[in-house]
Chains A and B, each alone.
Chain A
Amino acid sequence: MVGTYSPSLITDWLVPGRNLFLTIHVLGVACFAYIVAKRLVPLVRAQRDFRFDQPLTRMGRVLKFWLGQWKHPRYKFAGTIHILIFAGFILLALRAFSVLTIGTEHFALPGLSGRAGHIYDIVTDYAATVVFLCMVVAVIRRLVFKPARYAVPARYGKAHTADAVFLLALIAILMVADSLFAASKAAGHALQGQPVEALAVLSLPWMLQILVGSSSLATLWVVNVSAYLVHELAFYFLLCYRPFGIQFHVETSLFSIYFAKLDRGTLKPVRWGIPDDHLDQVKSFGVKTFEDFTWKHMLDFYSCADCGRCADNCPANAAGRPLAPRFLTIKARDYAFQHYPVIGKANNSKPLIGSIYSDDEIWSCTTCGACEEECPLLIEYIDKIVDLRRGMIDDGNVPQSLQKPLKALESRGNPYGKMEKKKADWTKAPGFQKTCRVKILDGKNGAETLYFVDSITSYDDRMQSIGRATARILADMGEDFGILGAAEKDSGHEVRRFGEEMLFMALRDHNTDAIKTAGVERIVTADPHAYNALKHDYKDVPPVEHISQVIAREVKAGNIQFNRVEDQDKVYAYHDPCYLGRHNQVYDDPRSVLDAIPGLKRVEMQRSRDRSFCCGGGGLMLFYEPKEEQRMGVLRVRMAAEAGANVIVTACPFCMVNIEDAIKVAGMEGKMTSVDLTELVDQNIVRESHAQACETANCGG
């Protein structure tokens, strides 16, 4: 028996070891290459997607979200486990490569010989141990603790537990085999009196060395070669098996994150590379068959690790609507695997709606963005949902409840079918008109600032109060402002997000012209949906701000003072509107305004800021009749109650609609109220006339 321990030197096997291991290498790599090539077939047939810009930014995001595992700690326990496994894998990558090569060649990786190599061995001994332990914990979690977010509701098929446990077990086997290989090698060297590099104390190889240390050289030889063979087989089996399930992300996540969407609040164009005025030549809009997805969106399907965080945060899923982002992806992946099989030809694609997706599933999304915020792999959902809706709109497959408002938007420019000439009627309310005159900017009247009101605030009796509060605040701040009046059509924010791109473009073009005619320098709105549309969906319009940003700036500059909140029983909770918070990162301004009001008691809901829970959706979502077990708003109102609040402060008229309704539905009238930030500011702002009156009355203000 030879002194140098290397599996390639096996001679008493049927085939020389070198040839056996070389065959395994070649077969394993070829098999993996073939499977990956097959997996790339649909990506080649997919729609275009421009993701090759800004390489430095993209690399930065790879460092943050891939290497840095940025999103993982949002779930502390699972996140920590994942970070440990990921770090272990990264550390073990070189070792795996060098172990694989031992089978065929004597080869030390450059830089990993001598002392550095020994340190690396020590580190990887521990890494393998940590990964092994993580596998044990993960399996126990899956089998014993069964976190709710891993459950698969019956309508989405069978549980994924077996597959998950199988994959975890394979990794555990890989770690044990790797450690046993090192342990038996070290034990063999020791037995032969050769110099031995000490194994890391208390590591898996170290423990295994104690276990096998008393064996004969012959046994060690068998153990060593067997461990190597098991390691080889497990490694290549895992490599080739991963592209069939949730662990494909090990290979694809790097690319998914590199090519991830860079901006927020935006939507992908109907077709990348086709300008708006050429859209008429596009034969079909949106996603109807699988091949209508872009290659990046298909890559997303492959990359999903089935962690369930998206669905866990999805308000539609929580309300019992037939939508869970997780299964949107899983179903598409299953479809891809089935229709683009590894063995055999790709089959013809059928329409996705009616086969893997239902109409209600796709209309159920409020585009709140909670799923995207949560996904550790930066998988996109809103663009896919909107693309699927574009396809449904193109096929005329639209619920009757949405057809009327869409038709009204086309003929009247608002979803309610109200007359254009009544758009500014909210300014004519008795009492208001006398104290605050709102200019109509029709080209004759000019102003510095445009207050973009949008449909709901203009026409809805309750929301008009937000309009008047906003106008009064702007007047108090001495803004030279006005509104477009009858010339203002709906911003089209939800029109676009419901997939009606052409109607959106008509609304956008009309409003853009009206805004240009008004000749303003900036735009202010109190509606986060209009804010997002003007900021991201419109081009060539002046800069836009949400009213909370304007108020916060004035508060900071000391230009606004507030009266003390007298009612000390009131506890306020701020509800982040999705299109102000998550999509535009305005979290602190509204809070700083609230905190500037003396005596105001404010609490945070558990789900706040980027984990805010959608109230039920805005715009056209108010017309849609979802199939749901309960209202999102009701869930939200209960969250506020749990936080100990009795006043919910919103900064969006749609939130106000949903939350006011939800308070009634939840039977919490009298216990919970809601108020818009502008209304609260309007009520508490110190006005000069009032201040003077206070001064003369010496009431202290």
Chain B
Amino acid sequence: MEILVCVRRVPDTSENEIGLNAAGNDIERDELVYSVNEPDNYAVEEALQIRDRIGGNVTVVTIGSEDDEEILRRELAMGANTAVLLWDEAFRGSDGRGVATILKDFVKKGHYDLILTGVQADDGAAQVGGMLAAMLDYPFASLVNSITVEDGKLKVSREIEGGNREMNEIDLPCVLSIQTGINEPRYVGMRGIRQVASVPIPTLGIAELGVDKTAVGKAAAKVQRVDYFVPALSKGAEMLHGSREENASKVLELVAAKGGLK
């Protein structure tokens, strides 16, 4: 099976202190460290496991500049067969639809049976997977937390209320957005990354991809970010100052009062 995984490089929320910049129009990006968007990493692991079970190839792709190459190397070290970087100055400032357009044109240049994205980027809006599927006219399943490959189709599940699972059948080719927890991604150490240091990663631009210039970039973006703000601290917190037993019964009482216990 030919599998494409769309990945993205994001500031690692566990290793950064995210704050707004002085102008208030972006987060402070000095001294940030980046990593692969977590759900994307699960998607790559899932693709590798499918490949290892039934054969095929795993390609990882990201839209971004040279800096973003590091995550592609990490995924190559994990075991992806090929990696491609999509970049052109014209891509800068694309909204979700623009990103989906670029990916659509890349997908059309190859033959992929299965396209995976993470469920959402840490700094994203969970829109690219669905839009990409629509543009390709492929079926789409979101929030996928298990995949079973059957003849010409997949059985996928997603978690619904109360930890239950909903099972769906979906025809190939298709696009799936992958939920964290679907697997346990393997570890990639420095040694793994060094071993793929010399693997070439081609960069494809607007011309190679045949992307319509008017559909991407800042000018084409129909969703514009206008502001960031930090919500004002509210006064909702109630501190309990009793013994452990008193606090426990008080908590029980409060939860019951709010309808949390039936």
Contact = CB atoms under 8 A, between A and B. Distances in A.
A676 B14 CA distance: 30
A344 to B, nearest CB: 33
A408 B190 contact: no
B186 interface: yes
Contacts of B191: 279-280, 285, 394, 501-502
A403 B35 CA distance: 13
Contacts of A398: 186-187
B188 A396 contact: yes
Q: How large is the interface on B (under 10, 10 to 19, 20 to 34, 35 or more residues)?
A: 20 to 34
Nearest to B74: A407
Interface in B180-202: 184-192, 194-195
Interface string A406-425: 11101110000111110000
A418 B31 CA distance: 11
Contacts of A412: 15, 33
B35 A407 contact: yes
A404 B187 CA distance: 10
Interface string A377-405: 00000000000000001111110101110
Contact of A396 (B35, B190, B192, B195): B192
Interface string A498-518: 001111001000000000000
B105 interface: no
B189 A394 contact: yes
A411 B186 contact: no
| Centre residue among B16, B185, B187, B192 by max chain A CB count within 10 A | B187
B10 to A, nearest CB: 13
Contacts of A411: 12, 15, 33, 35
A397 B186 contact: yes
B169 interface: no
Contact of B189 (A393, A400, A417): A393
B17 interface: yes
| Centre residue among B35, B78, B189 by max chain A CB count within 10 A | B189
B243 to A, nearest CB: 12
B190 A502 contact: yes
A689 to B, nearest CB: 38
Interface in B3-37: 12, 14-17, 31, 33, 35
A280 B187 contact: no
Given A396-B78, A408-B14, A411-B12, A403 B187 contact: yes
A625 B192 CA distance: 25
Nearest to A405: B14
Given A397-B187, A400-B184, A417 B14 contact: yes
Contacts of B190: 410, 500, 502-503, 506
Interface string A508-544: 0000000000000000000000000000000000000
Contact of A404 (B14, B186, B194): B14
Contacts of A394: 189, 191-192
Contact of B187 (A396, A419, A502): A396
A408 B35 CA distance: 10
A411 B186 CA distance: 18
A417 B31 CA distance: 12
B12 A417 contact: yes
Nearest to A501: B191
A502 B194 contact: yes
A419 B17 contact: yes
Contacts of B186: 395-398
Contacts of A420: 31
Given A400-B184, A411-B35, A419-B31, A503 B189 contact: yes
Nearest to A418: B15
Contacts of A400: 184-185
B33 to A, nearest CB: 4
Interface string B58-72: 000000000000000
B57 to A, nearest CB: 19
A502 B185 CA distance: 20
Nearest to A410: B190
Contacts of A501: 191
A421 B189 contact: no
A406 B187 contact: yes
Interface in B131-188: 184-188
A417 B187 contact: no
B37 to A, nearest CB: 13
A417 B188 contact: no
Nearest to A411: B33
Interface in A472-522: 500-503, 506
B187 A408 contact: no
Nearest to B15: A417
Contacts of B194: 280, 502
A410 to B, nearest CB: 7
Contacts of A393: 187, 189
A411 B190 CA distance: 11
Contacts of A503: 189-190
A285 B35 CA distance: 25
A285 B194 CA distance: 14
A420 B189 CA distance: 21
Nearest to A402: B187
A402 B78 CA distance: 16
Interface string B40-64: 0000000000000000000000000
Contacts of A502: 189-191, 194
Contacts of A418: 15
Given A396-B78, A417-B12, A406 B33 contact: no
| Centre residue among A395, A411, A503 by max chain B CB count within 10 A | A411
Nearest to A420: B31
A421 B14 contact: no
A393 B190 CA distance: 10
A408 B184 contact: no
Contacts of B31: 419-421
Interface string A279-322: 11000010000000000000000000000000000000000000
A161 B124 CA distance: 63
A502 B184 CA distance: 22
B77 to A, nearest CB: 9
23 contacts: A279-B191, A280-B191, A280-B194, A285-B191, A394-B192, A398-B187, A400-B185, A403-B185, A403-B187, A407-B35, A408-B15, A411-B15, A411-B35, A412-B15, A412-B33, A417-B12, A418-B15, A420-B31, A421-B31, A502-B189, A502-B191, A502-B194, A503-B190
Interface of A: 279-280, 285, 393-398, 400, 402-404, 406-408, 410-412, 417-421, 500-503, 506
Given A394-B192, A397-B187, A407-B12, 10 more contacts: A394-B191, A396-B78, A396-B186, A396-B189, A397-B186, A400-B185, A417-B14, A418-B15, A421-B31, A502-B194
The 3 lowest CB-CB distance pairs between A and B, nearest first, are: A396-B186, A417-B15, A398-B187
